[in-house]
Every structure is written in C-alpha cells, then in structure tokens.
C-alpha cells in the first residue's frame, strides 16, 4: 500500500455547484485512501448548518443576515443560472435523473468515508452561529492555524 | 480471466464508480479480481489512477457499444 496521502479543502462558497465539486473531490480522495479534511469558512458554513430559525445569540443584524441566507445543504443555490430558484430546481432534477448524489447525500457519504469536517470559529462569530447550529457531522471548531498545520502536511490543498 | 465479483456501475457518474469500487474491493481476498461495469468513460482513466494510489492492480478494460468492463486485482497478497 502506498504511503498515506492527505488532502485539505477550504469550502469558502455556499453555492450548490461549488459545494458539490468540493464533496466530489473529498469523496474521491477518501476512496483513494487519502485522509481528507474540509475546512468550512464564511459562506461555506451554510453547507453544514442545520438551517434552523432560532435566534440564539445573534444580534438583530446577524439574525437578519441569517434570514436572508438560510443555512442548510438543501437550501444551497447554483452560483449561475439560479433564476429565482428555477435553475437550481432544474439542476437538481437533472442530477436525480442521472443518479447523481444530492448535496446532502454527498455530505453523508463523506462522513461515512471518514472525511473530517472543520468549522471556522471566526466566521461563526461574525455570523452569530454557535456549535448547536451545525449538523452533528462537524468534528471540530477551529481557526486558521489548525487548517494551515493540516495543509502543510497535505499534497492537495484546494480553495473552493 | 476469472472474475471473483462483479460490480454494476452502469448509469453512475464520477465519483460513484470509484467510491463503490473502493467499498467492493474490501470484500475480496488479495489476488482476487473485481470486474466493474460502467458507462461513464471517465472510468478508463480513473480506475488505473485509483488502483495506483491504493495498492491494487489495474488489469485493463474492454469497451463495447458504450459499455465498459474494467478489471482490478486486489493487492496486498
């Protein structure tokens, strides 16, 4: 067996298409025996949010931001051709027809394959998000130094 | 060639054939051969790449009217 290889992905975007690309790579890497760490930051946090409406510790401004950009894998939209949701709906239909995994299924598969999910605590603070706002699949709540220490040990480091 | 297990990935696209191959190979003994049926042409490049990284042996493929048969021998024997 070849030596253990590592990959890290920074998931910065909360767009459906970009998140799908990130999870396709994570799932492929895990299937190739790689240790994969995904660092979710800024809009990327929405991919692993539960997407509830609790106010929590959010300020009124943060709460409004959260309402305008509801979290949750199933609420992600295409970065292009969303067309008020029509484009995203069409893309989801096409993916189903071609037996492709939904974003939520891709997340579940990644977890099953041992991919680690890290959430950026600084972005969480800006958005007023707490640990309880995230899906159980999140392994750790960390900062940039943790990401960088993983990235320096990895041959493949991607920013999506 | 003696095939010990066949995995049907017809209609599945990247990364599923590779994900399913990685799962299926676990149930084989070293030296046994897994046959994968696929119709995503990416498999012709992806399977040797996967095998090279996971210590398994890519044995080749055959293509007939869009259906691709790929063979991999489990390594570690």
Tens of pLDDT, residue by residue over A18-35, are: 999 999 999 999 999 999
Beta carbons of A109 and B19 less than 8 Å apart:
yes
Report the residue of B7, B18, B19 to disrupt the A interface, i.e. the one with the largest count of A CBs within 10 Å: B19
Question: Which residues in chain A are contacts of B15 at CB distance < 8 A?
Answer: 24-25, 27-28, 31
User: What is the residue range of B50's domain?
Assistant: 5-56
Beta carbons of B53 and A101 less than 8 Å apart:
no
Q: Is residue B73 part of a domain?
A: no
Q: What is the CATH number of the domain that holds B24?
A: 3.30.110.40
pLDDT at A70: 95
Q: Is pLDDT of A73 > 80?
A: yes
pLDDT at A1: 53
How far apart CA B67 and CA A73 sit, in angstroms, is: 34
- Work out how many domains chain B is built from and give that number: 1
Q: Is pLDDT of A36 > 60?
A: yes
Q: Is residue B16 part of a domain?
A: yes
pLDDT at A84: 94
Kindly compute the dihedral angle of the four CA atoms of residues A26, A28, A30, A33, in this order, to the nearest 10 degrees: -140
Q: Is residue B70 part of a domain?
A: no
Long-range pairs of A64-69 with CB within 8 A, sequence gap ≥ 24: A65/A127, A65/A128, A66/A127, A66/A128, A66/A129, A69/A14, A69/A43
pLDDT at A3: 79
Query: Cα-flanking dihedrals φ and ψ of residue B19, to 5°?
Result: -60, -45
Q: Is residue B61 part of a domain?
A: no
The nearest CA of chain A is from the CA of B2 a distance in Å of 24
Indicate if the alpha-carbon torsion angle B17, B20, B24, B30 is positive or negative.
positive
Cα angle B40-A78-A39, degrees, rounded to a multiple of 5? 85
The answer to whether residue A96 neighbours chain B at the CB level (below 8 Å) is no
pLDDT at A2: 62
B77 confidence band (pLDDT: 50, 70, 90): low
- DSSP of A32-99: TT-EEEEEE-GGGGGGGB------TT--HHHHHHHHHT--SGGG---SS--GGGHHHHHHHHHHHHTT
Asked whether this complex has an ipTM greater than 0.85, the answer is: yes
The nearest CA of chain B is from the CA of A34 a distance in Å of 9
Q: Is A6-159 a domain of CATH 3.40.1260.10?
A: yes
Beta carbons of A99 and B76 less than 8 Å apart:
no
Q: Write down the catalytic residue from B3, B10, B14, B22.
A: B14
Residue among A16, A139, A147 at smallest CA distance from A89: A16
- DSSP of A22-44: HHHHHHHHHHTT-EEEEEE-GGG
Q: Is pLDDT of A12 > 90?
A: yes
Q: Which residues contact B63 (CB under 8 A, 6 or more apart)?
A: B44, B69
Answer yes or no: B14 catalytic: yes
């Amino acid at each position: 067996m070849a030596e253990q290889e590592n990959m890290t992905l920074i998931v910065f975007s909360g767009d459906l298409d970009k998140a799908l690309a990130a999870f396709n790579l994570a799932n492929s890497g895990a299937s190739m025996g790689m240790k994969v760490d995904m660092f979710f930051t800024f809009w990327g946090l929405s991919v692993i949010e539960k997407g509830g409406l609790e106010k929590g510790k959010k300020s009124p401004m943060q709460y409004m931001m959260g309402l305008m950009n509801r979290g949750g894998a199933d609420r992600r939209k295409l970065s292009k051709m969303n067309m008020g949701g029509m484009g995203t709906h069409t893309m989801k239909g096409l993916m189903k027809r071609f037996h492709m995994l939904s974003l939520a299924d891709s997340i579940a598969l990644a977890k099953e394959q041992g991919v680690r999910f890290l959430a950026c605590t600084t972005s969480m603070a800006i958005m007023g998000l707490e640990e309880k706002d995230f899906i159980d699949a999140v392994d750790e709540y960390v900062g940039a130094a943790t990401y960088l220490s993983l990235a320096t040990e990895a041959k493949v480091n991607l920013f999506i | 060639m003696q095939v010990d297990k066949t995995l049907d990935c017809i209609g599945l696209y990247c990364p599923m054939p590779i994900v399913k191959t990685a799962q299926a190979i676990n149930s084989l003994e070293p030296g046994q051969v897994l046959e994968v049926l696929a119709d995503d042409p990416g498999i012709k490049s992806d399977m040797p790449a996967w095998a090279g990284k996971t210590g398994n042996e890519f044995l080749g493929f055959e293509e007939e009217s869009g259906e691709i048969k790929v063979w991999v021998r489990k390594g570690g024997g």
